[in-house]
Structure 1
Amino acid sequence: MHILLVDDDPTFSDVIAARLERRDHVSLTLAVSAEHALQLVDAASQPFDCFLLDIMMGDIDGIELCHRLRQHSSYQTTPIIMITASQETPLMEQAFHAGATDFLRKPLDEVELAGRIKSAMLLVDALKREKAGRAALQSVLTSHDPVSGFDISERICLSGVSGILDYHELEKSLLRLQDGLYHISVFRIVVPAFQKASCSRGRSETLQLLRDVSQGILTAAPADTPFMSYIGRGRFLCCVLGRMTGTSETFRTCIQDKVCSMLDARSLDYSDAFEVAVHQLNDHRIISRTAAVALVRSEFERASLSLESLPPVHDIEENIFAETDWLLCDADAGL
């Protein structure tokens, strides 16, 4: 991972450089000002994978630099982590509005820094997967030849479906909620016979099935903007903010009806393979942001470990997670 650190304090930059250069697979370039950073960006033969930007700098501050980087075609989704000594919430709101991914407060803790860098690395990996998936989807949609060899564990970002997020973006959307209690319903949505369907169909049809299921979930969800992600093996995560008027079974029936209608319109017969299972993961309708994040992380980790059985998820004691940050716990081991 190639990181560009932009800070006009050489002492601070040297300290961060010393810490990061001890990490495997991390290379660091230093810039002493926003202008210097933009010159390095223009001259780089390969795009940077991540940016660390100090907010308070000279003529061009970190927020303006973040905004300019987002205008660059190569950096519209690259992780940008802001660094600040300020405690002002409006300042961070401006940074997020400019396109920042995350932020750190000075003085930096080495373990926290490693955790945030690990988070950025996960996001970089997800973005690369999305780019590869987008290219593969374009290839199969423009090809008349059947494509086989679909890996059911592949966590594809279905970029053609408006409203679906990569998992890490879904998590960050939850983390950006203000700390507190919310009406949130977290669902695991599964196509049980997805493996059978993917084996009997080409890659193009399998991808289209996932797109249709995604669209069916988004249409059926009792909210204008549900947070949803595909996490592999025919499994989706869906977080609905707001009061639920129906039951999980009502939600499931609505999804299945809408997807079947789309399949019928495409003249695709999945009558022997298509069914949707919907499981609500939280018993209480009002839960904290922390509890919601813990639920989605648990599901994502379960899917990533390729567990065939999915045990029921019971209520989470929210105080267990009150001081927990999974990115920091194993930061040293992972980097």
Structure 2
Amino acid sequence: MRILAVDDDPVFLELLAGMLKAIGYGHVTTVGTAEQALHEVDTSNHVYDCILSDMQMPGLDGTALTTAIRLRTAYRQTPILMITALAGKNFVDEAFTAGATDYITKPLDMIELKARIGMVARLLSERHRLAEFARLVGQRAAQVEINADFDTPILIPGFDRGIEFLAMENYLLTLGVKRMYSTSAFGIHIKNASMIFNKASGAVYMQMLGDVAAQIVDSLKTEDAKIAYAGSGNFVCMSERDLGAATDDLEILINIGLMDFESIYATDRIPVPQVRVGEVARSSFLSPTKPTRILERAILSASTPPDKRSKPTMVA
């Protein structure tokens, strides 16, 4: 794995490189500024598999660097891990909104670093497969053969408002139970996703997911929501705002918007996707649990017909 590490503290960079080598990752390039990092990704003869960046640096900070890196096509899905002493929720929000995959606070722990980088290593094969999807953005290439996987969470090519589902989970884990009580989530389930997956080519299925994602953004009409595709026809929206009163209307708006594609789907010989929006899930002060449980409840609510849902939707 080729790793690019960015930090304005040369002592920390040396320490980080040594720790990475100790856990089996010796291909590490270190730079001292965000500007140097951008020059490196633009001029290097190889593409880096993972980027580790400090948050506070002179000139461009870590958030600006992450945003700039995500604009590079080759780095659209590359794992970016923020390593910083800043633990405030506003810094965490900025990092993940910019496109960070994970957030690690200093001082570094060897065991934690090994676990986080190990997670990145497991993701790389999936990222390489998704690079093929990126070449098909904007095309309905039914004749192109690509291997889509129904259950795997992915970052949909061309969906600029989307974040990786893994990043959404890491965001909640970074906040922790005590800091996530203002956060709510709800799921959006494509009811006929399995049927479309079985009928369509991989490229057409991916385009369908892109259509649904675009309709979610158009119908949601809020800038603060984080949206991820969790696999199996499920999207998850997470926000600081209480959107519970709008979920029924949101379902109607998305389905109406998708009907505009009816003639195109008929050409592809697949049905128009139909979505169901679940109830809003929140954490409860009385029943604290693992932070990512809120996502599980949101997905379960959306994938379950209303008459079969259990209540309440507080995370327990």
Give the TM-score, by structure 1 length: 0.63
Deviations 1:172-216 (A, max 9, x none): 5667879353262x2222223322222223344433322222223
| 1:131 counterpart residue number | 131
Aligned-pair CA distance for 1:134 = 0.9
Alpha-carbon contact 2:244-2:280 (below 8 Å) kept: no
**1:8: which partner in 2?**
10
Question: Which residue of structure 2 lines up, in the alignment, with residue 45 of structure 1?
Answer: 45
1:189 counterpart SS class: strand
Q: Which residue of 2 aligns with 1:277?
A: 276
Letter in 2 for 1:256: N
Please tell me whether the aligned partners of residues 216 and 255 of structure 1 are also in contact (alpha carbons under 8 angstroms).
yes
Instruction: Calculate percent identity across the aligned residue pairs.
Output: 20
SS at match of 1:251: helix
Distance (Å, rounded) in 1 between the aligned partners of 2:147 and 2:39: 44
- 1:168 corresponds to which residue? 166
Q: Please, which runs of 5 or more residues in structure 1 have no aligned partner?
A: 302-309, 318-335
Work out whether residues 175 and 293 of structure 1, in 8 Å CA contact, stay in contact via their aligned partners in 2: yes
Partner of 2:304: none
Cα distance in structure 1, aligned partners of 2:234 and 2:183: 23
Give the length in aligned residue pairs.
297
Compared CA separation, residues 279 and 27, structure 1 to 2 (3 A):
same
The alpha-carbon distance between structure 1 residues 69 and 243, as it changes in their structure 2 partners (threshold 3 A), is closer
Question: 1:21-77, CA deviations, whole angstroms, 9 ceiling, x for partnerless residues?
Answer: 3435x2343548559978876774322223445678xxxx57648567875745576
Q: Residues of 2 paired with 1:127 and 1:205: CA distance?
A: 19
In the superposition, relative to structure 1, how do residues 181 and 155 fare at CA in structure 2: closer, same or farther (>3 Å)? closer
Deviates most, 170-179 or 217-226? 170-179
Q: CA separation in 2, counterparts of 1:225 and 1:294? A: 21
Which structure 2 residue ranges, 5 or more long, are not aligned?
Answer: 301-307
How is 1:1-335 mapped onto 2 (pairs within 5 angstroms)? 1-5=1-5, 7-9=9-11, 16-24=16-24, 26-29=25-28, 31=30, 33=32, 44-53=44-53, 64=60, 73=72, 78-81=78-81, 83=83, 96=95, 101=100, 104-118=104-118, 120-121=120-121, 127-137=127-137, 141=140, 143=141, 145=143, 147=145, 150-171=148-169, 179=179, 181-182=181-182, 184=184, 186-221=185-220, 223-244=222-243, 246=245, 248-259=247-258, 261-266=259-264, 268=266, 274-280=273-279, 282=281, 293-296=292-295, 315-317=314-316
Where 1:152 maps in the other structure, the secondary structure is: coil
Q: Cα gap change, 1:16/1:146 in structure 2, threshold over 3 Å: closer, same or farther?
A: closer
Residues 79, 100 of structure 1: 8 Å contact kept: no
Three-state SS of the structure 2 residue aligned to 1:181 is coil
- In the alignment, is the contact (CA less than 8 A) between 1:222 and 1:240 conserved in 2? no
Structure 1 distance, partners of 2:173, 2:280, is: 18
- The answer to whether the 8 A contact 2:282-2:315 is kept is no
Change over 3 Å in CA distance of 1:62–1:90 after alignment to 2:
farther
| Aligned-pair Cα RMSD in Å | 5.0
The answer to whether the Cα contact below 8 Å between 2:83 and 2:104 also exists between their aligned partners in 1 is yes
